[in-house]
Amino acid sequence: MPDVEYMLFCCRDQEHKCGFRVQAKTKEEAMEHARAHMASEHGMKEISEETERSIKEKIKPVKVEE
């Protein structure tokens, strides 16, 4: 079985004490999920460029066996 690469975002890396993680096929998709999570769970209706950049830096590729 070939390994599939996913983009993984762990909120723990961005916020303290939050167990949210999201896996997506692309960085953009992971970013979308991260944004939605920030809005609903962390009350961040507006995400600043700085936060966005910081989230993007924390999205990393992981290999998953399918």
CB of 20 to Zn ion, least distance (A): 4
CB of 26 to Zn ion, least distance (A): 20
Compute and round to an integer the Cα radius of gyration of the chain: 12
The token duo for 4 is 């599939």
Count Cβ atoms within 10 A of the Cβ of residue 13 and give its class: 0-12 exposed, 13-18 middle, 19 or more buried.
middle
CB of 2 to Zn ion, least distance (A): 31
Site residues, Zn ion (CB under 5 A): 11, 15, 18, 20, 41
**Of 39 and 64, which CB lies nearer to Zn ion in the complex structure?**
39
